[in-house]
Each structure stands twice: as C-alpha cells, then as structure tokens.
Amino acid sequence: MRVQHIGYGARGFYRIAGLGRRWDMTPQDAQRRLQILHFLDEHGLEATLDAFGVSSRTLYRWKATLKAQGGNPAALAAQSSAPKQRRTPQTDARLVAENRRLRTLYPKLGKAKLDVLLAPWCVQHGITLASVSTLGRIIARAPDKMRQTLARLNSLGQRKPLRRNPCPTHRPRPAVGPDCAAPTPKTLLSDNGGEFEGDFDRLLKLHRIQRWHAYPKTPKMNAHAERPHHALGQKSPLSFLIQHQPECQRYWTHTPC
C-alpha cells in the first residue's frame, strides 16, 4: 500500500506543524513558574522567597500575567531578554574600506594575515588597529563577505550585467577533422574471452587488424609476461605456435616463402 503524507507538496507545512505542536505544549520553565505560584498560594510569600529565591516583584508579575491570559500556563514562558536598543559597531569606516580593498585583491586572505597587512597602514593614517577577532567580525558582517564575485567584463575592463537567460545552443560541429583522426591500429591486444569472438572479431578481420591474445593468470599480472593458462595448458607449445604464427609453420615444414 502506497502511503503519502498529507503535507506532501505544501512548502513549509511540516515546519508550521512543528511550531504549532510546540505552541500547544507548555514549556518546562512555564511549568516551574506555575508550581512556584501554587506554592505561593499555599505557603505564603515568605516561604516562597526562602524556597525559590525569587523576588516578590517577579512573583506578582507572573501572577498578573497568568491572570491576564485567563490562566493559560504557556503565558509564563520566558520571553526574549535581548536589549531593545542594540549596540552598533564603532569601527572606523576607513579601516572597513581598506579591509574590503585587500579582500578584493586577495580573496583568500584571512583575518590573521589582514592584521599583519593593516598594521603599517593604520600607523600611517593614525587609526587604531582593531584586534584579529574584530577584523573577522568585519568580514562576517559584510553581505558579500568582502569578496568580489565573478562578473562579465567589456573590452575596457568594466563590469557588465550578468545574463539572466542562457546563451542559445549553437549548431554542433565535428569535434575532430579527418586529418586529426587517430590512425587505424595494426595490432590489438585482448584476452581470450568469449565476448570478443563475435562482432568484435569480425570487425578486426574486416579491417585486417592482427589480434594478440593475452592469457593472464591474475588481473594484476602483465599480459605479455605471464605463464600460459587454460587454453595453452591444453595443447603443446609447438601446436600453439603453428596455429597462431604462420611463419613458424613455414620454418618447421621448410615451406618456401
């Protein structure tokens, strides 16, 4: 039976489903805060302060939040504690520009090598040299990582807009001319497998290509210097020479050329 999930083909379906499942579940920190509020109602403020070390202002704030949300425990979950007004880097703009220039000329430069190259430049311009880690953060904050991407250039070396559509396919041309083609071999070496006895053998005879047989003992052995195997072991060396070497037959039977 073929099974297909209900969210197949809907982009972002399972991500939203996971967020919904987490929203329905009460976080652990919210459960602990709810237990602290129950302890506050049963044992009073002094015992709660001694048992959990939470300030009274925090306890009353949790209690007001829970009441405002209709008793939903998920309202007690910890919120983001990030500052509303974040700090901005105070790095000199000239240092950032020089960092970009060096990274454009040498895209593989890291923060350690940039620190060495920027030291005399900062002394010359009266700029305080940033630390190695700060140089790394300057590179990481840049959208393009201070690295020039490949682009089309015109005859004057100026950047041209990249093509959005691919170039049309040209008409195929012959890769190699007849004069550049490799010459037909006169001799070919192959093993004595049956896969070479059909059309392959007829093609060699048609083009008058001499075929040499290799009888390897193992695949790692040289086919020219190995010991005869199988077919050679079933016949004498003299019979093999007479069958495959016509000149040996002429010499053995004293047949004139």
Residue 177 and residue 171 in contact, taking contact as beta carbons nearer than 8 Å = no
Residue whose token pair is 């202002």: 57
Type of residue numbered 121 = W
Residue 56 and residue 45 in contact, taking contact as beta carbons nearer than 8 Å = yes
Residue 229 and residue 215 in contact, taking contact as beta carbons nearer than 8 Å = yes
Count of helices and strands (H, E) across the chain: 10, 4
Give the C-alpha separation, 228 to 67, whole Å: 96
Residue 214 and residue 191 in contact, taking contact as beta carbons nearer than 8 Å = yes
pLDDT digit string (tens) for 80-122? 888 888 888 888 999 999 999 998 888 788 999 999 999 999 9
pLDDT of residue 117: 92
Give the C-alpha separation, 119 to 116, whole Å: 6
- Cα angle vertex 72, ends 66, 74, to 5°? 95
Residue 172 and residue 196 in contact, taking contact as beta carbons nearer than 8 Å = no
Q: Enumerate residue ranges in the chain where pLDDT < 50.
A: 174-179, 222-232, 252, 257
Domain range list for the chain: 13-76, 93-141, 183-253
Give the C-alpha separation, 215 to 222, whole Å: 10
Please state, in angstroms and as integers, the Cα–Cα distance from residue 147 to each residue in 85, 98, 110, 158, following that order.
30, 13, 11, 17
Q: Which secondary structure element, helix H or strand E, spans residue 211, and what is its range?
A: strand 210-214
The pTM of the full predicted model, rounded to 2 decimals, is: 0.38
pLDDT of residue 106: 84
